[in-house]
């Protein structure tokens, strides 16, 4: 037993060391000249545009369901007028960011892991390295920066569509004008709701890109490792997203909601 536990730990520690080195490589290459703009824009398009429908639909449904679920409870307390406020706060602070991040981890993270994994297995990354080009700059930096930019953007879209879903649910039972609803929503969200939530989505985006790239870039030889890279990219990124979420909630409640 003990003999098996030690290599496991050793492997884990080695893995963390590799990740730190990979992270250092990323930062070194971000600030080096020759940034790959066209590839960056292409990645933003791939990542942002192609996840837009999925994120939008999911957020819309979540908003709708959330409103339908909240309503009876609020009616019991005679606080139906609080519905837009509670919707807005829960969507902007938590549901929007986390739903978007989870979907992106599943869709984008696995995509990056699989793509880089297969490039590794078919020696494309090796060929870039050996030719004297810089695969970290071309493949990794662009992807990580693209997710870091696009996940927050997608979250904003998700927030808006989630609130729209909530509006639809409210409109089923009682008729409220869209104007009034959105005014109420906006009035109930302030800076301290929005800012920490927005900042954490930047970290979510970074983690999704970083983990996907790391897993893909360091996958082993053999085709099965492509699937493994994609799979572990999703699992690890999801885990990190929750950890970051927990940390951000602690920090922001210390700062803002005492």
Partner 1 sequence: MLSWFRLAVYFFIVNMKETEKVSQKKGNSSETVIHIKGLKKSFGANDVLKNINLDVKRGENVVILGKSGTGKSVTIQCIVGALVPDGGEVEVFGEEVAALKEKQLKELRMKIGFLFQSGALYDSMTVRENLEFPLTRVLKLKDQSDINNRVEEVLENVGLSDAIDKMPSDLSGGMRKRVGLARTLIVNPEIMLYDEPTTGLDPITSREISELILQMQKKYKTTSIIITHDMECADITADRVVIMNDGEYIAEGSVAELKNSKDGLVRSFFKSTL
- The contact mask relative to partner 1 for 134-173 (x = CB under 8 A, - = no) is x---x-----------------------------------
> Quick check: 222 binds partner 1 (CB under 8 A)?
no
Figure out which of the listed residues 14, 18, 129, 190 binds partner 1, where binding follows CB under 8 A: 129
- Using the contact rule CB under 8 A, the part of the chain among 68-76, 116-124, 180-188, 196-204 near partner 1 is 116-124
> Quick check: 98 binds partner 1 (CB under 8 A)?
no
CB of 34 to partner 1, least distance (A): 8
> Quick check: 43 binds partner 1 (CB under 8 A)?
no
CB of 220 to partner 1, least distance (A): 11
> Quick check: 224 binds partner 1 (CB under 8 A)?
no
> Quick check: 133 binds partner 1 (CB under 8 A)?
yes
User: Is residue 237 within 8 Å of residue 206, measured between CB atoms?
Assistant: no
CB of 36 to partner 1, least distance (A): 9
> Quick check: 23 binds partner 1 (CB under 8 A)?
no
Cα distances from 183 to residues 27, 85, 153, 198, 228, in angstroms, run 42, 10, 22, 21, 47
Figure out which of the listed residues 24, 50, 126, 180 binds partner 1, where binding follows CB under 8 A: 126
User: Is residue 128 within 8 Å of residue 23, measured between CB atoms?
Assistant: no
Figure out which of the listed residues 112, 119, 213, 233 binds partner 1, where binding follows CB under 8 A: 119
DSSP the chain: -HHHHHHHHHHHHHHHHHHHHHHHHHHHHHSSS---HHHHHHHHIIIIIHHHHHHHHHHHHHHHHHHHHHHHHHHHTT-GGGHHHHHHHHIIIIIHHHHHHHHHIIIIIHHHHHHHHHHHHTTHHHHHHHTT--HIIIIIIHHHHHHHHHHHHHHHHHHHHHHHHHHHHHHHHS---HHHHHHHHHHH--HHHHHHHHHHHHHHHHHHHHHHHHHHHT--SSTHHHHHHHHHHHHHHHHHHHHHHHHHHHHHHHHT--
* Interface size with partner 1, residues (CB under 8 A): 17
> Quick check: 118 binds partner 1 (CB under 8 A)?
yes
- Using the contact rule CB under 8 A, the part of the chain among 57-65, 67-75, 112-120, 231-239 near partner 1 is 112-120
> Quick check: 40 binds partner 1 (CB under 8 A)?
no
- Using the contact rule CB under 8 A, the part of the chain among 111-119, 148-156, 173-181, 237-245 near partner 1 is 111-119
């Amino acid at each position: 037993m003990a003999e098996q536990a030690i290599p496991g730990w050793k492997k884990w520690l080695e893995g963390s060391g590799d990740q730190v080195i990979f992270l250092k490589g990323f930062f070194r290459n971000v600030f080096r000249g020759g940034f790959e703009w066209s590839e960056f824009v292409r990645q933003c398009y791939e990542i942002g545009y192609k996840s837009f429908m999925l994120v939008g639909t999911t957020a819309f449904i979540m908003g709708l369901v959330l409103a339908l679920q909240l309503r009876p409870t609020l009616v019991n307390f005679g606080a139906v007028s609080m519905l837009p406020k509670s919707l807005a706060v829960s969507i902007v602070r938590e549901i929007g960011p986390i739903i978007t991040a989870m979907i992106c981890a599943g869709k984008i993270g696995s995509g990056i892991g699989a793509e880089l994994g297969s490039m590794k297995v078919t020696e494309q990354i090796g060929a870039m390295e050996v030719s004297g080009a810089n695969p970290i700059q071309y493949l990794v930096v662009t992807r990580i920066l693209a997710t870091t930019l696009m996940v927050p953007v997608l979250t904003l879209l998700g927030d808006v569509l989630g609130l729209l879903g909530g509006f639809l649910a409210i409109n089923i039972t009682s008729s409220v004008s869209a104007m009034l609803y959105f005014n109420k929503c906006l009035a109930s969200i302030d800076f301290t709701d929005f800012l920490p939530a927005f900042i954490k989505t930047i970290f979510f985006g970074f983690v999704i890109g970083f983990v996907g790239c790391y897993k893909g870039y360091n996958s082993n030889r053999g085709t099965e490792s492509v699937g493994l890279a994609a799979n572990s990219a999703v699992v690890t990124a999801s885990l990190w997203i929750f950890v970051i979420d927990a940390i951000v909630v602690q920090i922001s409640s210390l700062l803002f909601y005492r």
